[in-house]
Structure 1
């Protein structure tokens, strides 16, 4: 009996040992067939999980900086009404192009509607500019992209742009022809001939010098004098150089004495701003009379372009604030019930109210005009556009 019990105990122990040995293997078989990973905390690798890919951020295109701010002002006073249009812009905006343009682009004579200039330049805004002679020749300094188109008169301030900053300063130009030991100065430059003297004409003046009296010409092509030619009719300006024309006995004698065929000559100029030779400016454009200088109204009662400035008429002006903001202003006038216009000093006071530090007059009267996105926003006093010789355009750079 005892032996049977002992045998049963031994068999039971052996069975337990066999089960203990076989259970992990069986568990592994079932785990594998179940599709679950086994982790024993020591030898098995941690289960790996793939996180869903992070979506790439959608690039956001920043809104372009506004090119300008336009607004109008209406005032009804006891003795007169006013309709004023203001265009403000930051010339340091890298997306902005602001510049003067002539009616015929690279040529100096003629007129065009401001809307035509605006369309030709695909401008976002445009304002009429300064004064011109009856033939459409610009009335003062116009220098842009390193080329002098017309010289300064020395009587009126000019608006300049340099390194994204606008400023208004008195300016003059020094022009000379030099080379091979010769210096010619005291010259008329791209100027319609009205008196005796030495004249210099560049291709921007046109194809010919427009002189219809006896005159001597030095034809300078690619820096070399190709000949001296006497003519009584308009003579050709070389496309690759310049023409020196002498009217009158003294000027002819001077040209014949100093300039010889085969000489090398170069046309040079300096723009002098308040006594210092300027360089690096994008452009300069001569305006009319000063209106404001350092927050002070300095406008005269009359000037050579306009005559009296004490009447209420349509006005256009340009100003610059302390922070560099350019301000164009157009005042409607000669239209009872809408706007009577301003005197020049009233315009100066309004510019002060707008925070302008320095300002200069531009062509007014029937020429006063402002265009915003292709629409004439002011009311021209003639009831329609007037042809002008030049304007300012504002557009987004391409």
Structure 2
């Protein structure tokens, strides 16, 4: 005979544990199910092992969605301050690192143990590792067939995440359930992911792996109300296959295949004007001039890509040539060949179409009792703790609504 629960949460990651703890502490009988042997691996590896658990600057503008207003309700009702209060309650030391990003002083494991303790406080039952083989709805509730026995639940919460980082157990289970129950999906794709380049235009830059510098990067696609525009000032890193670093991870969520990204390698300088004005001042070769402002190997690569000899004298350069070089540095337009895919993506863009869900409760409007939270939903945050804050907020929204 199937065991009866008020709530079955499928997926014991950030959003799932938060939802389970909230519902259980409000008196619901909750079972938390996960197919993995290790708990919350994505939390454990986040932030270099210290878990960038929120961002104090969180606002709806930091999130992408086909339905951009959807996230406002949950985010306004459970804020970074609320999660910080929980962290303090468990006496976890933390610090702000960069632009509002908060990290544990010691280890991401502290966040995992905190969430486990919150679940224990409500008497959450665990089924782990347990694989859910099917979910069916009957008048008396949902029947979950699993490899460790059947479960009946009045409510089911899908918190199984997206497709990013399959080596730690990512699957499309949440999308399968959404499709089974007739809910629309926004096509998933990798987000916060390094971009790859190839072809003759990239050959000059391929040897620059390891070089890093602060840049401004932007891209846009679409027109009118559907236009998607992003612009970030962060560090860029050259890799053996292309570009990475926070600037590229950020812009990757806005990039669409076939469109260029525009990189300003010296965002605080009008390079052309500086070079032209410096013709009477810098009595130097071009390689030495650019190396004042850029890493030497990058300066040499840019000159090579623009057909300028390293030993060419600045004073001898025509203004038109310098303007072209300046534009190549301040507006370096390159079209990525692709991305490193889900294996290196930190998040999954797209997912369950939020127009199928209640923004107050996260419940599917067509399927009473079925909820979707966290990364499974078409709400994706910027790099820097925003996606964890969405996990906490959406988990609390569903857990509170059920209770």
For Structure 1 versus Structure 2, the TM-score category normalised by the shorter chain is under 0.3
TM-score by length of 1: 0.25
Greater share of helix: 2
TM-score by length of 2: 0.24
Bigger Rg over Cα: 1
